[in-house]
Amino acid sequence: MTDQDKVEAALAELQGFLGDRATDGMLHRMAYSRDWSPRHKQMTDLPDIVVIPQDTAEVVQIVQAALQYELPLIPFAGGTGMGGGVVAWKGGIMIETKGMNRVLEIDPENMSVTVQAGITIWELNEYLAPFGLWLPHQPESKRACTIGASIGCDNDSTFGVRYGKILDCLTNAVVVTGHGEAVRVGHRKASFSSTGYNLMHLLVASEGTLGVVTEATLRVVTLPKTREVRGWVFPTLIDGAQALERILASGLSVESAHLNCRQRLHFYTHAYRENYGKEPEIPDWAESILFLSFAGDDDVVDFGLGKARAILEREYRAELVREQEIVEGYWDSKHRLAFIPFKQKWPDSQRQKKFGSADVGVPFGRLEEMYHAFIEIAARHGQQILGMTVYNESPNKVSPSISFAIFVDDSTEETVQKFYWYVREMSLKAVELEGTMSTYIGDGDRLGGFNEREHGLSYQYMKKVKGLFDPKNIMNPGKKFESRWIEP
Amino acid sequence: MAEFPSLLEFADDIYTCNRTRCGFCREECPVYRVKRLETYSSRGRMLVARGLMEGILEPSVEVQDLMDECLMCGYCEARCALNNMDVFSTVRQELREAGFASPRHERTSAKILDEGTLFARPTPFRRVGTVPLYLGCAYQSKPHEVKKIVSVLEKVGIDPLVSDEVCCSYIVGAIGFKDEFGEAQARFRQVYGPHLEGEILTVCPTCTATLRDEYGLKVKNAVVAVAERIQEMDLKPLNKRVTYHDPCHLGRMLGVVQEPRQILEALGIELVEMEHHGIFSTCCGGGGGVLDVDRDLAIEVSKNRIRDAAAVGVDTIVTACPTCQPTLLRGAGRVANELDMFVDVLDLWELLDEALES
């Protein structure tokens, strides 16, 4: 059979049980041709078929059809990924997972919810709010991002320093593997398990290369009564990180902790000037800004803020940002999402230029070193710096997950390639500093193969794991073990 | 390249959307809520627009159907600074010029051009008065409602003048029939000529937005005029608990969000807000000509809006639009068994009339 014959035969089979929820219509293929990753503005990756299943049983049938015709399967969710994880650059069947968006069980007594994986985080939290509960895994893409996407990408969470990321909430999952079988992994509603191998952990950051996650059980938490957010500026970058460590060591429970470099700080002051027509009282010596939030009962939050302020200002020469509007603007962009895209008053509105990031992770003692490397590497590749944000993603630890963002000129293939050269060099530097190439974007179609430089022999074991779950390599091929941008 | 040359004017918006993919416009797009496919969301349509602009996609019945299934409700533009609606209008115009237009839309346009009205009206309402009041053809087809509106306006001290009028022809423009819309506008100006210089009072939100934005006229929606006077009125308190559905044109496009709420408060009505309200309200299903071309989709959209009301525990929706009310009522009937309740849909004017009875 030719490739086209396979597509036509697979489509006929898929339409047999999905009806018009399986299509090869060009306009649908076009609508699934991009994610948020940097690439030439006219670049298009068209899947051959788009399907929209409504439950696990239908996904099983879809995988079986793909197996029969040896067609790639790409699970699509929020479409907000910045690593090319959902682009169909090898064609195949795009599985739109957002048709699976039902809440299957709410169990307030056990503070647990079981959902189909295509529900968005925003939608789930709206569902949970009347129960006084919420899912604290909160990526900035939560309006569009689904539970399945969070599992697949292991994306960042605004509240990682208190609650961790999706894995800290996930207790159980159903995955349809490359064998066409639905497999339950995890420990039901229990928080941990020491029996067997923890296969559920393998799904996190697997980017759909092991299977399609169709259901998830999540431990949710009580909605806090109140929340306060503040910002402090520091004379050095590392002061901000060390001050956070000191606050955590004092016993305070910090809900979110984001450290931004001087360039990033300037975006917020720029927005303030534009919005309010006056100069903020940020001292010239400010090299970084740390935003902290505290949440819980009023008196505890008050105490936390007071204690944090005492530590930061007395021990670290930090200065509180007096213009709370700057802090609220930051919070609008990170948590409330109370802004209109492309209308922000800061220069990274993406209206004129797109941004892209190297999302490396380094141990916190190497932050300053990585930051200087960022400035130097970006300059060497002729890239305009947007800035650095350090998210902290492990409960009660300084645990840097870093966005080293630059503006990407996507007008030509060559200028886009320059961005990936920048990513390549930043990734190598992070490994040299005992860190990792990616902390929240994933391998996507950029780091596969090249990431062997980080993993060494364990990369070969990863390949074997892939073969175990997906022997015919139909699950999101071209990702994790192959790159179209960075040579190994 | 450039199958659709006029889209090149929007190339920057299209590429900005295509490469960004934030998805703010997606989840609450009323059509996406029903279809759950990216293609039907604003960002999906922006990729389709790029396909047309670059010649990756050819004009076809499928593309026409997709574009016809946009409610033009403006939700996506409320969430984004790009000009999505202008892009979709342009695509509709280009499709029409390429020979792809729904026969139902052709009939609608022809009817408006032939008869000056979209809806059958028994006897056109006329009234001698001092303040020009443009009713529009939807209200002109509802003599019972018009009687109440006029009665309310009289009681708040407005002396409406209702003269000869023809349809504002919003729908002709919205479905992409550019030349016909130009023709319809010329006729409107001829018929309504004596009142074009001063302020015109309007009741239909769609007419209000069209006369302001497409004709450049000075208009005031009568809801605003009533809200300005409501505090001075002797009102019978109405013992009701309701939610308010912001019509897209009235709330999102004209910014009339607080005034209907002030009226409800003055009427002693307890208001419970739905999740999507104000400028982020969601369409009733009756927008953009979708009712004409895909009635099932329109009903599914209206059912979702009824579910929104039921989700906040109310059994009555109040609105202020001659399209929203019947469309939502249709959805309420279809979803009553599922919800095990009938959500009634009342016109704000009906409540005002009741409260002002004394």
Q: At A197, give phi and psi (nearest 5°).
A: -95, 145
Cα B140 to its chain centre, rounded Å, is 16
Measured CB to CB, residues of chain B less than 8 Å from chain A are 15-16, 18-24, 26-27, 36-39, 43-45, 47-48, 50-51, 54, 56-57, 62-63, 66, 79-82, 275
Question: Is residue B170, in this structure, part of any structural domain at all?
Answer: no
- Confidence label for B4 from pLDDT (cuts 50, 70 and 90): confident
Whats the size of chain B, residue-wise? Answer: 358
Average of pLDDT values for A261-281?
Answer: 93
Inform me whether the pLDDT recorded for A347 exceeds 70: no
Helix (H, G, I), strand (E, B) or coil at A243: helix
CATH ID of A3-98, from 3.40.190.10, 3.30.43.10, 3.40.50.1370, 3.30.70.890: 3.30.43.10
Gap between the Cα atoms of B56 and B50, Å rounded = 8
Q: Which of A41, A96, A141 sits opposite B38 (nearest CB)?
A: A96
Gap between the Cα atoms of A86 and A47, Å rounded = 10
**Cβ–Cβ below 8 Å for B22 and A341:** yes
Inform me whether the pLDDT recorded for B244 exceeds 50: yes
Among candidate residues B122, B144, B71, B141, the one with its CA nearest the CA of residue B347: B144
Among candidate residues B105, B106, B156, B94, the one with its CA nearest the CA of residue B131: B156
Cβ contact A92:A14 at 8 Å: no
pLDDT of the residue at A354: 84
Gap between the Cα atoms of A32 and A30, Å rounded = 5
Task: Using the CB atoms, write b or e for B90-104: b if 16+ within 10 Å.
Answer: bbbbbbbebebbbee
Q: Token pair of A32, please?
A: 């699934």
Inform me whether the pLDDT recorded for A351 exceeds 80: no
Chain B partners of A141 at a C-beta cutoff of 8 Å?
22-23
Looking at every residue in chain B, the average pLDDT score rounds to 95
Chain A partners of B50 at a C-beta cutoff of 8 Å?
30
Question: Is residue B89, in this structure, part of any structural domain at all?
Answer: yes
pLDDT of the residue at A345: 63
Inform me whether the pLDDT recorded for B307 exceeds 90: yes
Question: Is residue B114, in this structure, part of any structural domain at all?
Answer: no
Chain B residue with the nearest C-alpha to that of A38: B19
Question: Is residue B59, in this structure, part of any structural domain at all?
Answer: yes
Residue pointed to by tokens 């997972």: A97
Among candidate residues A395, A387, A488, A390, the one with its CA nearest the CA of residue A435: A390
Helix (H, G, I), strand (E, B) or coil at A138: coil
Question: Is residue B9, in this structure, part of any structural domain at all?
Answer: yes
Inform me whether the pLDDT recorded for B154 exceeds 60: yes
Chain B partners of A26 at a C-beta cutoff of 8 Å?
51, 56-57, 62
pLDDT-above-90 percentage for chain A: 94
Chain B residue with the nearest C-alpha to that of A33: B47
Question: Is residue B122, in this structure, part of any structural domain at all?
Answer: no
Query: Between A262-276 and A324-331, two packed helices, what is the crossing angle to 10 degrees?
Result: 110
Inform me whether the pLDDT recorded for A172 exceeds 80: yes
Inform me whether the pLDDT recorded for B357 exceeds 90: no
Q: How does DSSP assign A288-341, residue by residue?
A: EEEEEEEEESHHHHHHHHHHHHHIIIIIS--EE-S-HHHHHHHHIIIII--S-T
Q: A336: Cβ–Cβ under 8 A, 6 or more apart, which residues?
A: none
Closest chain B C-alpha to A418 CA, distance in angstroms: 17
End-of-domain residue from the set B82, B101, B120: B101
Inform me whether the pLDDT recorded for B1 exceeds 60: no
Question: Is residue B280, in this structure, part of any structural domain at all?
Answer: yes
Gap between the Cα atoms of B220 and B203, Å rounded = 9
Mutation site for B-interface testing, chosen from A29, A334, A337, A342 by largest number of B Cβ within 10 Å: A342
Closest chain B C-alpha to A434 CA, distance in angstroms: 32
Average of pLDDT values for B204-209?
Answer: 98
Average of pLDDT values for B83-97?
Answer: 94
Cβ contact B163:B194 at 8 Å: yes
Q: Where are the domains of chain A?
A: 3-98, 101-222, 226-336
Cβ contact B145:B138 at 8 Å: no
Q: Token pair of A313, please?
A: 């200002």
- Domain A226-336 class in CATH: alpha beta
**Cβ–Cβ below 8 Å for A96 and B36:** yes
For residue B38, give its domain range: 5-101
Inform me whether the pLDDT recorded for B7 exceeds 70: yes
Chain B partners of A50 at a C-beta cutoff of 8 Å?
37, 39
The one-letter amino acid at B16: T
ipTM (interface pTM): 0.95
pLDDT of the residue at B121: 72
Q: B227: Cβ–Cβ under 8 A, 6 or more apart, which residues?
A: B258, B259, B260, B262, B263
Gap between the Cα atoms of B52 and B280, Å rounded = 29
Question: Can you give the C-alpha Rg of chain B in angstroms?
Answer: 20
Looking at every residue in chain A, the average pLDDT score rounds to 96
Coarse DSSP helix, strand, coil percentages of chain A, rounded to the nearest 5 percent: 40, 20, 40
pLDDT of the residue at A338: 87
Among candidate residues A129, A167, A140, A169, the one with its CA nearest the CA of residue A78: A140
End-of-domain residue from the set B53, B73, B101: B101
Q: Is the pTM of this model over 0.90?
A: yes
pLDDT of the residue at B2: 43
- CATH architecture observed for domain A101-222: 2-Layer Sandwich (3.30)
CATH code of the domain in which B324 resides = 3.40.50.1860
The one-letter amino acid at B211: L
Chain B residue with the nearest C-alpha to that of A348: B20
Residue pointed to by tokens 């190497």: A366
**Cβ–Cβ below 8 Å for A31 and B48:** yes
**Cβ–Cβ below 8 Å for B57 and A28:** no
Chain B partners of A76 at a C-beta cutoff of 8 Å?
38
Inform me whether the pLDDT recorded for B122 exceeds 80: no
Gap between the Cα atoms of A110 and A454, Å rounded = 40
Q: A90: Cβ–Cβ under 8 A, 6 or more apart, which residues?
A: A72, A477, A478
Helix (H, G, I), strand (E, B) or coil at B356: coil
Gap between the Cα atoms of B61 and B58, Å rounded = 10
List the beta bridge partners of residue A76. Answer: A96
B163 secondary structure, DSSP code? -
Question: Is residue B62, in this structure, part of any structural domain at all?
Answer: yes
Neighbours of B240 (CB within 10 A): 18
Task: Using the CB atoms, write b or e for A89-122: b if 16+ within 10 Å.
Answer: bbbbbbbbbbbbbeeeebeeeebbbbbbbbbbbb
Q: A76: Cβ–Cβ under 8 A, 6 or more apart, which residues?
A: A32, A86, A94, A95, A96, A97, B38
Among candidate residues B4, B320, B44, B248, the one with its CA nearest the CA of residue A98: B44
The one-letter amino acid at A348: D
Inform me whether the pLDDT recorded for A245 exceeds 90: yes
Average of pLDDT values for A200-211?
Answer: 98
Chain A partners of B39 at a C-beta cutoff of 8 Å?
27-28, 30-32, 50
Average of pLDDT values for A113-137?
Answer: 97
pLDDT of the residue at A353: 74
Q: Which of B15, B21, B36 sits opposite A80 (nearest CB)?
A: B21
End-of-domain residue from the set B50, B66, B101: B101
pLDDT digits (tens, 9 = 90+) for A367-410: 999 999 999 999 999 999 999 999 999 999 999 999 999 999 99
Average of pLDDT values for A307-335?
Answer: 96
Q: B239: Cβ–Cβ under 8 A, 6 or more apart, which residues?
A: B268
How does strand B316-319 pair with strand B241-244?
parallel
Coarse DSSP helix, strand, coil percentages of chain B, rounded to the nearest 5 percent: 55, 10, 35
pLDDT-above-70 percentage for chain B: 99
- Confidence label for B3 from pLDDT (cuts 50, 70 and 90): low
pLDDT digits (tens, 9 = 90+) for A315-324: 999 999 999 9
pLDDT of the residue at A339: 85
Chain A residue with the nearest C-alpha to that of B13: A351
Query: Between B61-68 and B84-97, two packed helices, what is the crossing angle to 10 degrees?
Result: 140
pLDDT of the residue at A348: 54
- Confidence label for B358 from pLDDT (cuts 50, 70 and 90): low
